[in-house]
């Protein structure tokens, strides 16, 4: 077995193990995680409870990704070689987050959440820069879609979690003006960052960048739903943050609908 074959085999095994670890650790520690995150006052940037149902979608897509990348036919896939390791890293960090939170090691948990974001961003950008001809329909569904949805939620989750972390370390008072201002700034920055990420992904498959943007919008709308009565400022910041994301998304989709324009991909022959 050559060195490349060894790395391919290791990547496939680690991908499956990581996906199982993140799902298993989160499910097994579910009650303890809920207890830990519910301690103390609620955050002014926390989304409505229904929004967290996206984790079921993320876990399902993660397992599908893991199975797909482990298939013998995909062992030497060029796209999977580019994105497989960072996605596996994201799975590992998510599982460790589910270990640290019940232990009240919130600082380490925040580091893991940032690790998930960085890992998925690397995978997302590598996917966007891949040869479009190397992406089949199955690749778009089982690689691009999972990465887009997962990265979208984690981008929004970091804005919420960082606000809570600022409160936890005592930099600002909980449920005070400082928390509102910090949360609002992070939401606005998150919206600009999400718009930039959406734009960067437009060179790649729409299943990636559209899923990313839609998931970010899902989270921002849920923040508005939860906070418009408690904190009009953070709710307003969430509304404003949706604008650049939605604008870039619509421009990207409109550009794909007009083949032949400069900078937009032409449809491939089937």
CA distance 176 to 156: 21
Distance (Å) of CA 239 to CA 157, 226, 263: 16, 12, 30
Query: Apex CA 155: angle with CA 255 and CA 23, to 5°?
Result: 115
What mean pLDDT value characterizes the chain? 91
Q: Residue 76 falls within a domain, yes or no?
A: yes
Tell me how crowded residue 27 is: count the other CB atoms within 10 A of its CB: 11
Contact 228/235 with Cβ under 8 angstroms? yes
Contact 15/91 with Cβ under 8 angstroms? yes
Q: Residue 265 falls within a domain, yes or no?
A: no
Nearest alpha carbon to residue 106 among 164, 154, 184, 150: 164
Work out whether the CA dihedral 266, 213, 111, 55 comes out positive or negative.
negative
Q: Residue 245 falls within a domain, yes or no?
A: yes
Band of the pLDDT at 270, cuts 50, 70, 90? very low
Answer yes or no: is pLDDT of 260 > 80.
no
CA distance 43 to 46: 5
Task: Tell me which of 80-89, 168-177, 187-196, 247-256 is least confident.
Answer: 168-177
The count of structural domains within the chain is 1
Provide the domain limits for residue 173: 3-256
Q: Residue 23 falls within a domain, yes or no?
A: yes
Answer yes or no: is pLDDT of 92 > 50.
yes
Helices and strands: H and E segment counts in the chain: 10, 0
Per-residue model confidence (pLDDT) at position 131: 82
The encoded tokens of residue 138 equal 């199955």
CA distance 124 to 114: 15
Q: Residue 58 falls within a domain, yes or no?
A: yes
Question: pTM of the full predicted structure?
Answer: 0.92
The whole-number average pLDDT for the span 177-205 is 95
The whole-number average pLDDT for the span 100-108 is 95
Q: Residue 162 falls within a domain, yes or no?
A: yes
Residue with tokens 């989270």: 219
Residue 104's region, left for phi above 0, alpha for psi from -120 to 50, else beta, is left
Q: Residue 68 falls within a domain, yes or no?
A: yes
The whole-number average pLDDT for the span 100-114 is 96
**What residue spans of the chain are helical by DSSP H?**
3-28, 30-37, 54-70, 78-100, 106-128, 137-139, 145-168, 177-201, 206-227, 232-256
CA distance 88 to 9: 13
What confidence tens digit (pLDDT) does each residue in 125-179 have?
999 998 877 789 999 999 999 999 999 999 999 999 999 899 888 888 878 899 9
Q: Residue 269 falls within a domain, yes or no?
A: no
């Amino acid at each position: 077995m050559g060195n490349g074959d060894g790395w391919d085999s290791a990547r496939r095994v680690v991908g499956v193990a990581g996906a199982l670890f993140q799902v298993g650790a989160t499910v097994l520690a579910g009650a303890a995680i809920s207890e830990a995150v519910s301690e103390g006052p609620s955050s002014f940037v926390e989304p409505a409870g229904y929004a967290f149902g996206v984790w079921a979608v993320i876990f399902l897509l993660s397992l599908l990704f893991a199975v797909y990348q482990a298939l013998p036919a995909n062992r030497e896939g060029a796209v999977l070689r580019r994105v497989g390791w960072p996605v596996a890293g994201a799975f590992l960090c998510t599982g460790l987050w589910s270990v640290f939170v019940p232990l009240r090691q919130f600082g380490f948990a925040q580091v893991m959440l940032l690790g998930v974001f960085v890992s998925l961003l690397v995978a997302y950008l590598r996917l966007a820069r891949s040869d479009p001809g190397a992406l089949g329909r199955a690749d778009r569904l089982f690689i691009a879609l999972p990465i887009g949805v997962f990265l979208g939620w984690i981008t929004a989750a970091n804005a919420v979690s960082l606000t809570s972390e600022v409160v936890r370390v005592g930099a600002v008072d909980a449920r005070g003006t400082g928390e509102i201002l910090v949360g609002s700034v992070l939401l606005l920055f998150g919206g600009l960052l999400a718009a930039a990420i959406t734009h960067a992904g437009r060179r790649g498959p729409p299943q990636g960048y559209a899923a990313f943007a839609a998931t970010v919008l899902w989270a921002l709308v849920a923040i508005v739903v939860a906070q418009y009565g408690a904190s009009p400022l953070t709710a307003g910041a969430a509304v404003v943050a949706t604008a650049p994301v939605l604008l870039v998304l619509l421009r990207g989709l409109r550009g794909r609908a007009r083949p032949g324009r400069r900078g937009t991909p032409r449809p491939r022959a089937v």
